[in-house]
Amino acid sequence: MNYLTNAGVLLLQFAFGALVTLFVLRLLAEANRADFNNPICQFLYRFTNPVLRPLRKVLPPVRRVNTAALLIILALEGLKVVLIVALAGFAPAPLGVLVAAVAETLDFFLLTWIVLVFVWSIMSMLSTDRYHPVARLVSSLAEPLVRPLRGRLTIGGLDFSPTAVLLGLFLARILVAQPLSDWATRLLLGA
């Protein structure tokens, strides 16, 4: 790829990453029943509702998972893949686009959880205001991942459950998301 193509790919990844982040946080906030009175949650709901409201009539939530948001995330990731492959000068294979969208979505969720658990663990070590909107949102999204291990991996007064969760998330990226992404690349390029 030439420099202009690389710049275009960077801009596409940034723009689609920002949009996907909003919908991922909305989906996670609903699934974890984050406080709706939180200003960040209100922003997420206000921004994503115009897109999700019509789709939710057709795709109702399954348990606490907003299927409409998940479909939008997959569609955005698929569109991003199509545009990046087109910028590179290839015609994308439909199955490759689908697998790549699933791989990108899975990787995005795993990376989001890594960031959330890392920020949550740093905030728990520092004396942060627990009532700050960011702290409340991060706690409500990261706590369910750490809660099953909490107190079970305590050594010398230190709780290593966030470390174990982070290790598991990194392993999932390496052992699940990356092979899926590699397979999608082979399908996209027709190899």
pLDDT tens per residue, range 153-189 = 777 777 788 899 999 999 999 999 999 999 999 998 8
Model pLDDT for residues 62-92, shown as the tens digit of each residue? 988 999 999 999 999 999 999 999 888 888 8
In terms of residue numbers, what domain contains 83? 3-189
Quote the number of domains for the chain: 1
Residue 75 CA to its chain's centroid (Å)? 14
The 3-class secondary structure across 93-134, one letter per residue, is: CHHHHHHHHHHHHHHHHHHHHHHHHHHHHHHHHCCCCCCCHH
Better-predicted residue by pLDDT, 72 or 4: 72
* Mean pLDDT for all residues in the chain: 90
Locate 48 and state its tokens. 């994503």
